A and B are shown apart, each in its own frame.
Chain A
Amino acid sequence: MKKKNNFSFAKYGYLFSLPFLIAFLIFSLYPTLYTALIGFTDLKGVGTVKWNFLSEDPFQNFKWVLTSPTFMTAFKNTTKLWICNFIPQLGLALLLAAWFTDRRFKIPGEGAFKVLFYMPNIITAATVAILFNALFNYPMGPVNDLLVRFGIMSEPYNFLVKKNIAQDIVIFIQTWMWYGYTMIILISGILGISPEIFEAAEVDGANGWQTFWLVTLPNIKTILLFTLVTSLIGGLNMFDIPKLFMLGGPDNATMTVSVFIYNLAFSGGYIYNRAAAASMIMFIIIVVLSSIMFYALRDRDEAKLRKIVKQQEKEQKKRLKEAGR
């Protein structure tokens, strides 16, 4: 009787997940496969929809991308911009999160600080990029104005023509936009740790530093992994800021892979096949990197525990079977 009941309801499980599945197939899976396919064709030119497979050398587009010096520059830039913004961002967020959750002292105005630190993240990235471009204007932008007025520099400096400085500013913008978000996530992770563990550490005479390294950090490993993976994927797809801050310049210094793909396919070139090949290369890199991260940071104890539980279940079943006989 009970089984029959379950059966009649099971169809709603399929029915209710159908809209998701259909939308996924049309708007996500099909475009992904189609992008992969285009990578092997000769599709280019504005308004073109017809294409042929490359019969001579199917991997021609992929080879072109991998040997293109601009792609290599874009890839190096993307990696550099992500690493150089992620490390200070995570460091700052960890430090602030540790201070804001410290049970021994309370910083006045904590709530207001959280609100202000997170604010840049909510503002449209396009606005932020153009605002920073305006702030570093030469000869009379706000930054130059302040530096000259406070006597730090004797005359205005044209920051935006220097490759390194343009990259540093993009790194700064990314850090500035994201450390508040990371901080809030880490705080909620730390608050989720059972207070008894901290009490035990206190009883054992651990100082603040020891507590942080030996109690707090190991207990927020999962959340650190979450932050790392989402930031990595976001970072490898960085587009709005580099695109609008300096249009990828000066001299391709802030050109990221996403900007490279966009320029190739949509701004003037319409070289869809090579852009698709570049997209697929990025796709593979993202999948490989996030798998490595999950593997490296997976919870070894939990995996062991799961194994033991499984084994016990098996034995239990065996025993039941034998008892049944």
Chain B
Amino acid sequence: MKKNQTIKKILIFILCVILAVLSIMPFVIMIVNSTRSTTEIQQHAVSLIPSGYFSSNLSILLGKSFNPAVGFVNSLLVSVGVTALATYFSTLTAYALVVYDWKLRNAFFSFIMAIMMIPAQITMIGFYQMVYKIHMTNHLSMLILPAIASPSMVFFMRQYMKPALSLEIVQSARIDGAREFFIFNRIALPIMKPAIATQAIFSFVSSWNNLFTPLILLTDQKKYTLPIMISLLRGDIYKTEYGAIYMGLTLTALPLIIVYLLLSKYIIAGVALGSVKG
């Protein structure tokens, strides 16, 4: 019996190692190949030894209208904006649902549950036409402002706030003469910090990785976000420049990988938390 258990354990461990290698391998090949010349890659596409063509790959890449710095800044603007608006207003809406007793409260909550599942892509034609009509297609604000209404985040925040925020604290603050908006900003927001941190990470990542909406709204190269920049690597201009393609991919993936590994503990805990509450 004991021996069986050990064999099982070893087999599971081996399977886990294989899966882990599968997770890392594509990125290792990508990073190593970003330092190798196209000729080297064409001779042997897999190598674990970095070569010395990092800067030449970089200059080929940047020489062809690929400007990761612009994409980086735009993506950062959009993602920070989206994260700030989504977390703040979702917490505010959740506060309205938890603290105040108003007539339409339950109806509003059911409504939020119902619209949670509407995918943005389905409504894209109407969204594009609306934005086009008011001449806002190349404005990053059109990617940021919709985040004020994030139904699934409101749902999460409400579930978290219900046990975390006691109404007595709110009451006593009122007795001390604090205004409602002040109570929300100074008392409720700090209490919600752990939930906000979790949701902020996911809001940031999904906004950072979003391709569909920016691809439709942004036509001006100076406004491109990083995923659109990445999609340019698929174009004909890089067809045979393998080193440069790997370079471009590495430039966009490596910062994410590093940040992920640094924050992995919180991110994994956040995924788990999101599922239980949501």
Q: Which residues does A use to contact B, with CB under 8 Å?
A: 6, 9-17, 19-24, 27-28, 30-38, 43, 47, 49, 96, 99, 104-105, 107-109, 112-120, 122-135, 137, 140-142, 144-146, 149, 176, 180-181, 184-185, 187-189, 191-192, 223, 226, 229, 233-234, 236-237, 239-240, 243-244, 247, 258, 261-262, 265-266, 272, 275-276, 279-280, 282-283, 286, 290
Contacts and interface: CB of A to CB of B under 8 A. Distances in A.
B180 A9 contact: yes
A10 B101 contact: yes
24 contacts: A10-B101, A15-B96, A23-B145, A27-B149, A28-B118, A31-B124, A43-B129, A118-B271, A119-B260, A122-B256, A123-B256, A124-B230, A127-B230, A129-B234, A145-B46, A181-B271, A184-B275, A191-B272, A192-B276, A233-B117, A234-B119, A239-B211, A243-B211, A286-B122
B253 A127 contact: yes
Contact of A118 (B125, B267, B275): B267
B118 A32 contact: yes
Given A10-B102, A119-B257, A20 B126 contact: no
Task: Name the residue among A12, A38, A43 with the largest chain B CB count within 10 angstroms.
Answer: A12
B130 interface: yes
Nearest to A139: B42
Interface stretch (B13-21, B54-62, B192-200): B13-21
B237 interface: no
Contact of B5 (A9, A105, A109, A229): A105
* Main DSSP-derived SS at the A contact region: helix
A113 B20 contact: yes
A117 B103 CA distance: 46
A240 B212 contact: yes
A126 B129 contact: no
Interface of B: 5, 8-9, 12-13, 16, 19-20, 22-24, 26-27, 29-30, 33, 41-46, 89-90, 92-93, 95-97, 99-105, 108, 115, 117-119, 121-130, 132-133, 145-149, 151, 154, 180, 184, 205, 208-209, 211-212, 215-216, 226-227, 230-231, 233-234, 242, 245-246, 249, 252-253, 256-257, 260-261, 264, 267-268, 271-276, 278
A112 B90 CA distance: 33
B121 A134 contact: no
A38 B129 contact: yes
Contacts of A32: 118, 122-123, 126
B122 A283 contact: yes
B121 A239 contact: yes
A49 B126 contact: no
Contacts of A187: 272
Contact of B45 (A49, A145, A276): A145
Contact of B24 (A43, A116, A290): A116
Contacts of A280: 122
Given A116-B20, A119-B23, A124 B253 contact: yes
B267 A20 contact: no
Given A114-B268, A119-B257, A123-B253, A35 B145 contact: no
Interface of B is mostly: helix
Given A28-B146, A124-B252, A130-B233, A184 B211 contact: no
Nearest to B152: A230
B117 A286 contact: yes
Given A34-B129, A140-B43, A237-B121, A125 B211 contact: yes
A117 B19 contact: yes
Across the A-B interface, give the 8 residue pairs with the lowest CB-CB distance, nearest first. A34-B126, A13-B100, A13-B102, A35-B126, A188-B272, A23-B148, A16-B96, A31-B126
Given A16-B93, A144-B45, A239-B121, A134 B246 contact: yes
Given A13-B100, A13-B101, A20-B89, 8 more contacts: A17-B96, A19-B148, A32-B118, A34-B130, A122-B260, A130-B231, A237-B119, A276-B126
Contacts of A27: 127, 145-146, 148-149
A28 B112 CA distance: 12
B23 A35 contact: no
A17 B100 CA distance: 11
A141 to B, nearest CB: 5
Contacts of B212: 239-240, 258, 262
A216 to B, nearest CB: 15
A50 to B, nearest CB: 10
A243 to B, nearest CB: 8
A135 B275 contact: no
Contacts of A149: 44, 46
A20 B46 contact: no
Nearest to B142: A27
Nearest to B32: A142
A12 B96 contact: yes
A9 B211 contact: no
B125 A38 contact: yes
Contact of A105 (B9, B268, B276): B9
Given A27-B146, A223-B275, A130 B230 contact: yes
Contacts of A43: 129
A193 to B, nearest CB: 11
Contact of A140 (B41, B234, B252): B41
A38 B234 contact: no
